[in-house]
């Protein structure tokens, strides 16, 4: 996705109900295993949801994004004394090597053009012995084709499965890789589409694609059709690795 597309999405991003689910955040935080003296870096921070969450438990958070519109909302809604929001590309971090006690990246890597550059940068700025935590949506087993085709209507992005995420971290020379898969129940497709920044016609196509998908896809997503909406259980991976 281009920076311009994020400008369009920024205004409604925080209405996305999935972004603030408690159980997901709880698992994410547990994996981060924060300490009060930590210096943290949040990559692709968007409107600052993760940055703000980290900032409650860390000494200092530097949060970067390449979309000024997303950052403007972060600064306005989630400004805290110990958060510094910076306009920066994840592929070229303007931080010294071995700086951070933790680097996080939630739902950002699938948008990054050169993911190898970005992972190398994330690892470079991490102190040895410290953790990188990435979180990405993944298709339920057997639904990769549906997932990829459906997202083609929505945006230019990468589809990850767990193996891809592990490979990404391994290519970044991270060790002690852990994998947690979080099932996020009953996500409303109407909420997701209404706040996607897409035009009505595209939203309708994506909605219909869900309604019309094959039975095995419906089953894999535990899909429910109710009151003019479609509800699905999403799978979200939280993968971490340590810099040697
Ligand atoms: C789906 S949003 C996720 C925002 C936030 N991490 C969250 O979980 O709510 C993806 C964000 O990644 C940012 N992004 C994408 N590619 C980037 C890059 N190369 N460098 C910095 N930010 C990037 C976008 O601008 C957007 O704000």
Per-domain boundaries in the chain:
3-140+158-185+234-242
Please report the pLDDT score of residue 231 as a whole number: 98
Low-confidence ranges of the chain (pLDDT < 70): 1
Measured in angstroms, how far is the CA atom of residue 242 from the centroid of ligand 1? 22
Please report the pLDDT score of residue 172 as a whole number: 98
* Overall fold of domain 3-140+158-185+234-242: Rossmann fold (3.40.50)
Measured in angstroms, how far is the CA atom of residue 2 from the centroid of ligand 1? 11
Q: Which long-range contacts (CB under 8 A, 24 or more apart) does 149-158 make?
A: 149/209, 150/206, 150/209, 150/210, 153/202, 153/205, 153/206, 153/209, 154/196, 154/198, 154/202, 154/206, 155/1, 155/5, 155/111, 156/1, 157/1, 157/110, 157/111, 158/109, 158/110, 158/111, 158/115
Q: What does the angle CA 216 – CA 219 – CA 178 come to, to the nearest 5 degrees?
A: 100
Length of the chain: 244
Relative to the CA of 6, which ligand 1 atom is closest? 25
Cα torsion at 41, 42, 43, 48 (round to 10°)?
-140
Q: Is 132 in the pocket of ligand 1 (CB under 6 A)?
A: no
């Amino acid at each position: 996705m281009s920076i311009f597309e994020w400008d369009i999405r920024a205004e409604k991003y925080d209405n996305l109900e999935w972004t603030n689910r408690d159980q997901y955040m709880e698992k994410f935080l547990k994996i981060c295993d924060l300490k009060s003296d930590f210096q943290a870096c949040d990559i692709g921070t968007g409107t600052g949801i993760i940055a703000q969450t980290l900032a409650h438990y860390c000494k200092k958070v530097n949060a970067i994004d390449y979309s000024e519109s997303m950052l403007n909302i972060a600064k306005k809604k989630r400004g805290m004394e110990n958060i510094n929001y910076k306009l920066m590309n994840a592929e070229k971090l303007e931080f010294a090597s071995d700086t951070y006690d933790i680097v996080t990246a939630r739902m950002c890597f699938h948008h990054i053009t050169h993911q190898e550059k970005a992972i190398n940068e994330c690892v470079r700025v991490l102190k040895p012995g410290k953790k990188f935590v990435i979180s990405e949506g993944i298709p339920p087993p057997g639904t990769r084709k549906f997932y990829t085709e459906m997202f083609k209507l929505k945006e230019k992005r990468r589809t990850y499965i767990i193996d891809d995420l592990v490979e990404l971290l391994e290519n970044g020379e991270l060790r002690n890789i852990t994998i947690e898969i979080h099932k996020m129940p009953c996500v409303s497709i109407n909420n997701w589409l209404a706040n996607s920044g897409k035009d009505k016609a595209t939203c309708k196509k994506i909605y219909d694609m869900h309604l019309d998908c094959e039975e095995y896809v419906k089953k894999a997503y535990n899909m429910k059709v109710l009151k003019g909406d479609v509800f699905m259980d999403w799978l979200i991976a939280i993968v971490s690795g340590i810099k040697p």
